[in-house]
């Protein structure tokens, strides 16, 4: 392990540690793909098994899910801008865009919680049937990921304020940006295969 630091290129790739952490995180994302696809498979197999609970077509609303989707899409975009600022060397720009990203993420979570409570009022809960179990666990796992991401990013912003842009902090920020974009990828599939298909079939 050399501690030699490269002199050019993005800050987060300049040390061997930085490169390895980012590579390790990519591999972890490979595992996350499988984790979510298992949940998708469960959802697909249990699709339509609503027992006595309401069917999804009666509960899903295009408006609110579209708003959630745009919130998350935009947050993914602002997160990309944050990395752009980081690579341009602007700490202030980075923190600003990160905070905006988190705000959008919180908005998404708020809608998701509202949505879950609403469904529960209509008689569709985790316990009511296997379809609804699969729905809540799939969407909920994504929601938990978003929540953890927000907490994690807050810790990183504190570190950025304390330490500025170093190979270590920029590596950490880059990793969480990967995580955040990845959650958007997952949401695209939830939006498509859960909500859109749920409203069509």
CB of 19 to another protein, least distance (A): 4
CB 169 within 8 A of CB 156: yes
Distance CA 90, CA 95 (A): 9
The angle that helices 167-189 and 16-45 make with each other, rounded to 10 degrees, is 20
- Judging by beta carbons within 10 Å of its beta carbon (0-12, 13-18, 19+), is residue 137 exposed, middle or buried? middle
Mapped onto helix, strand or coil, the DSSP state of residue 90 is coil
CB 173 within 8 A of CB 83: yes
């Amino acid at each position: 392990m050399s501690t030699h630091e490269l002199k050019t290129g993005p800050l987060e790739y300049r040390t061997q540690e930085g490169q390895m952490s980012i590579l390790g995180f990519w591999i972890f994302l490979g595992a996350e793909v499988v984790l979510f696809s298992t949940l998708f498979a469960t959802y697909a197999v249990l699709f339509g098994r609503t027992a006595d609970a309401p069917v999804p077509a009666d509960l899903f609303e295009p408006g609110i899910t579209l708003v959630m989707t745009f919130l998350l899409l935009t947050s993914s975009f602002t997160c990309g801008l944050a990395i752009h600022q980081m690579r341009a060397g602007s700490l202030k720009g980075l923190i600003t865009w990160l905070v905006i990203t988190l705000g959008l993420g919180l908005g998404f979570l708020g809608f998701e919680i509202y949505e879950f409570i609403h469904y529960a009022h209509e008689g569709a809960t985790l316990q009511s049937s296997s379809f609804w179990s699969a729905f809540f666990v799939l969407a909920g796992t994504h929601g938990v990921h978003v929540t953890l991401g927000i907490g994690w990013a807050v810790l990183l912003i504190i570190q950025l304020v304390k330490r500025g842009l170093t190979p270590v902090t920029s590596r950490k920020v880059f990793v969480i940006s990967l995580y955040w974009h990845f959650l958007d990828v997952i949401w695209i599939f939830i939006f498509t295969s859960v909500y859109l298909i749920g409203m069509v079939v």
